[in-house]
Structure formats: C-alpha cells, structure tokens
Structure 1
Amino acid sequence: MDLISIIGTILAFVVIIVGTILKGSSLDALWNPAAFVIVFLGTLAALLVQNHGKVLKHALKMMAMVYRPPQHRPADLISRIVGWSEISRRQGLLGLEPQIEAEPDPFVSKGLQLLVDGGEPEAIRGVLEVDLETREAIDLAGAKVFEMAGIYSPTLGIIGAVMGLMAVMQNLADPSKLGHGIAAAFVATIYGVALANLFMLPMSARLKSLINKQTRMREILIEGLVSIAQGDNPRQIESRLQGYVA
C-alpha cells in the first residue's frame, strides 16, 4: 500500500472542504445534483465515445496500481538473473526449468521458457521485445484514459456553469433566487477543475511513471536472459545490468 498516494487523495478532499469553510461558505453549497450529472456523467460519456470498452476496463483495473503499486527492485532482479546464470553454467539451461513453474510473472516465465528451449539470443530478444512493446502500449492507453478525463472535465464544468447562469438569467425578476443560482452555477466549475487537477491528471502521471519503471525492469530482464543465452560470465552480466540501475 502506497501511503503517500493515500495521503494525497485524502488531502485533495480536505483542501476543497476546508477551503470552502474558510471562504465562509457552507458544505451544502458544494453539492449540486445538476452539476454532478453534467461534469461526472458528461466526462464518462466523452470517455465512452473515445475509448473501446476493453481500454476502459483495463484503465479501471490500473487505478489500483496508484494505491498498491507493483514493487520495482532492479537490484533484486539483477541478483536473480545472476543466480540463473550461475545455475545454467553448472547444470546447463535445463537446470532453469524448475524456476519457470515457481515464477509468478508470466513475462519472466515466458523468457525463462524461451531460454530453456534453447532459443537463439536474438530470437529471445525479438519475442520478448514484442511482448514488452505490446504490454506497454496497452498500459499507456489505460493511463491516457485518466489524462483525457482530466482534459474533458474542466470543459464540462464550464458548460455546467454556463447552463446554470442561463437558469439564473431566466429568474432575474426574482432577486431572492439570484445569489443561490449563481453559486450553484459555479459548483460545476469546481467539480470539473478539481476532478482534473486533483485526481485525474495526477493519477495519469503516476501511472505513466509506474509503466516506465515496469518497462525498465523488463528491459533488464531481456538483457539478462539474452546474456545467459550467449553464455556470458555471471560477473560480466551483473556488471552490464548494473548500468540500468545507475
């Protein structure tokens, strides 16, 4: 669990609530059903038009990564690769077969299987790089969903504000309704801007950062497996892979 991300999300809500109180407004002023429908459902509608259903489903699954990110420990991975290299030198590539079944990551197990099957170094690199690029493209598409939500929601907030002001203009004959109507109109703007800048855009940026780290880990793995297939010395492999950590 990423405590920093959780604190950031809670702080985002606190900023809006405390800011509203300090400005002398009531918390009831932050709730407006019409503004909610326009901004939140309008943003969802735009995303549904733009994205395939599978992309949206994957994006929802990726939300968990923000608060429970995968562990990226390059030093540990390099240590494991060096261990595999030592096993292959002592027992041959078939000695790595038990490692395949014990490996929870499908990408790692596929790479080890290619290695055990005696694949040529460049063939192993080619297969794994295609998998890497495909997975990265899928994950980046999921992260972009949140980025686009951060672009659409402020615009929909403005639309909500304009629609609210239109309703106010229709009630100019009743001054008692003007103050409440104008306040309600700008709630949509708050929803749109807050949704974008406190949640969607930061979430997209965080996911892209995690995707980049995951890609780097897989690049280390590919380079290590290819080095093992070439029969390189374990110490040489470790020295080469340390460059990724730096």
Structure 2
Amino acid sequence: MLGIIGIVLVFVMVFGGYVLAGGKMAIIIKALPFELMMIGGAAVGAFLISNEGSVVKHAIRDMSKVFKGPKWKPEDYRDLLCLLFELIRLARSSPVALEEHVENPEESAIFGKYPKIAADANSVELICDTLRSVSMNYDDPHQVEEVLDKRLERMQAHALHPSHALGSVADALPALGIVAAVLGVIKTMASIDQPPEVLGKMIGGALVGTFLGVFLSYAFVAPFAAKMKATIDDDFHFYQLIREVLVANLHNHSTNICIEVGRQNTPSHFRPTFVDLEDALKSVKQAS
C-alpha cells in the first residue's frame, strides 16, 4: 500500500507542481513516447547485457516485494521456533527417529505442520544439513558456526544481486537521459532555419529526455532497488534465526534456552512475545 501511495504522490507532486507553476504539459506529452522509447529501451537493453537470465527473472519477481513487503511475517518466526523446538527435542530424545525427518523433509510429519516453511528450500536445507552434520559427529560449535556464516553470506549475496543490478540501472538513467537530450539538440540544430517558437518547442522536447532520465532514476528505479534490498535484508533475519538456534543447540543449552536465544535475536518488529511463544510451544507439547 505504501508503495502505491508513494508512486501516486510522486506523479501528483511533480507534475501537479509543474502545471500550477504555469508549465505546459503538451510539450512533455508530445515528446514523452519517443524519449521513453530511447531512455527506457536503452536502460532495459543495458540491463539485459550486463546480467544473466536468472538474475533478470529474479529481479522481475523481486519487484513485487516493493508492494508486498517481506515474505516472512511475525507468525512465521513463531512457527519456525516451534519447528526447531520439535526437531531439537526429538534429536536429543531419539537421534535415530530424527533421521527420517532430516533425510525426507517433504514427507516429514513435523515439517508438514508448517507448510510455508516446508515450501522454502533454503530454510529446509539449512535446518536439515546442520542437523545431519551433528548426527555425523561434526558437532564442533565453532566449526559449524563458521560453515553456517559462510553459507549465509553466499545466500545473501545471491539474493541481493538483483537489487544491485537494478541500482546500476538507476545510476545509468541520468546519463541515458542526457544521450536522449543530445539527440534532441541534434534534431533541433538540423532545423535551425525554423521560427523561434518552433525551435523553442523542439528544445523543450529535447530537455524532456534529461528530465525523464533523472526522474525515472531517483523517483522510481533507485527507490525500487533500495526497497528490494531492505525487504531481502528483512527476510534474511529468518535464516539468521535458524543459525542462532542451531548453534545454541550445539553448545548443549537446554531446548527452551535454544529457542529463547533465537527469539531474543529476532528483530523486534518480527519477534513473537514470550507469552505468545510459550502458548505455541505448549500446544506443540500437547500435540506430540
């Protein structure tokens, strides 16, 4: 909702202010399709040249984050803590019974209770790989923590690639606007024998290119890239929570302490309250 409000506000304030100041929209409207074709087409072409197909698809998909916000909501963090609680408790009471859940998470009754988490490959792989390594006696907390940190760094760098690519387009748009403006000046110079009122409109049309490049860059593409990055960073706290709980487990803290470590390391706007989490864990205990 805030994204839509922001877009409407940008158009109303910029063009509304221009019209109220006595500006004529006719020149902008006449030049806009051609300038947009040159600037927008060049920007899209440069984006395709500099990125792989997977990044392009990822960037298009991530643009929805501007309007949808983070994938993981506060209730998902609560569910994740409940899932980890069940898995850790099972690992300590019956390591053999844990294997079927780790080796076949898609058929696991425990993962099945949390379909949104089970559908996220990164979450499932991170949990299962770490618990599997413990069952293989690779249980040095410091080594596992280092492995998890490197893995999370790679995941985050991959997730942020589309926002960085879109940021590069934002940086290029003002220059592409100048390119379009220069072409407009060339066109104007070729008609130097025309009356001043005709030349004035042609120069005005050329300057639309400079305006459009800067406008698209700083009012749309750069904010989109920044919002994508902020949303991805927010979503990444979900995976950091998995790391915190599983590393605490390797330090042989009690199961409840491991979960509380994860809860307290969750950002405040996603963190379930102590009471809410306790109620959820009681339900888990009663159901098992």
Q: TM-score, normalised by structure 1?
A: 0.84
**Aligned counterpart in structure 2 of residue 227 of structure 1, from 226, 239, 248:** 248
Matched, 1:10 2:8: yes
Are 1:72 and 1:214, in contact at CA under 8 Å, matched by a contact in 2?
Answer: yes
- State the match for 1:24 in structure 2: 22
Matched residue of 2:70: which SS? coil
Matched residue of 1:12: which SS? helix
CA distance in 2, matches of 1:230, 1:98: 27
Matched, 1:44 2:44: yes
Larger mean Cα displacement after TM superposition, 230-239 or 161-170: 230-239
Matched residue of 2:222: which SS? helix
**Aligned counterpart in structure 2 of residue 245 of structure 1, from 248, 251, 267:** 267
- State the match for 2:192 in structure 1: 172
Deviations 1:68-119 (A, max 9, x none): 1224456862674266336643654536642234422222222332355425
Matches within 5 A, 1:78-117: 80-81=80-81, 84-85=84-85, 88-89=88-89, 91-93=93-95, 94=97, 97-101=108-112, 102=115, 103-114=118-129, 117=132
Larger mean Cα displacement after TM superposition, 18-27 or 50-59: 18-27
Q: How many matched pairs?
A: 244
Deviations 1:33-75 (A, max 9, x none): 3211221111112222222222122111110111112244568
Matches within 5 A, 1:32-181: 32=31, 33-73=33-73, 77=77, 80-81=80-81, 84-85=84-85, 88-89=88-89, 91-93=93-95, 94=97, 97-101=108-112, 102=115, 103-114=118-129, 117=132, 118-119=135-136, 120-121=138-139, 122=141, 125=145, 128-175=148-195, 176-181=197-202
Gaps of 5+ in 2: 102-107, 269-288
CA distance in 2, matches of 1:217, 1:69: 14
Identity of aligned residues (%): 24
Larger mean Cα displacement after TM superposition, 207-216 or 20-29: 20-29
Larger mean Cα displacement after TM superposition, 69-78 or 45-54: 69-78
Larger mean Cα displacement after TM superposition, 45-54 or 144-153: 45-54
Distance 1:228 1:135, change over 3 A: same
- State the match for 1:214 in structure 2: 235
Are 2:246 and 2:258, in contact at CA under 8 Å, matched by a contact in 1?
Answer: no
Are 2:66 and 2:224, in contact at CA under 8 Å, matched by a contact in 1?
Answer: yes
Are 2:83 and 2:110, in contact at CA under 8 Å, matched by a contact in 1?
Answer: no
- State the match for 2:218 in structure 1: 197
* Alignment-mate amino acid for residue 187 of structure 2: A
* Cα offset, 1:141, TM superposition: 1.2
Are 1:168 and 1:177, in contact at CA under 8 Å, matched by a contact in 2?
Answer: no
* Alignment-mate amino acid for residue 245 of structure 1: P
CA distance in 1, matches of 2:82, 2:144: 18
* Alignment-mate amino acid for residue 81 of structure 1: L
* Alignment-mate amino acid for residue 121 of structure 2: P
CA distance in 2, matches of 1:190, 1:46: 20
CA RMSD of aligned residues (A): 2.7
CA distance in 2, matches of 1:223, 1:197: 38
* Alignment-mate amino acid for residue 223 of structure 2: P
* Alignment-mate amino acid for residue 27 of structure 1: M
Larger mean Cα displacement after TM superposition, 220-229 or 235-244: 235-244
CA distance in 2, matches of 1:44, 1:79: 40
Matched residue of 2:119: which SS? coil
* Alignment-mate amino acid for residue 6 of structure 2: G
Matched residue of 1:171: which SS? coil
Larger mean Cα displacement after TM superposition, 123-132 or 50-59: 123-132
Q: TM-score, normalised by structure 2?
A: 0.73
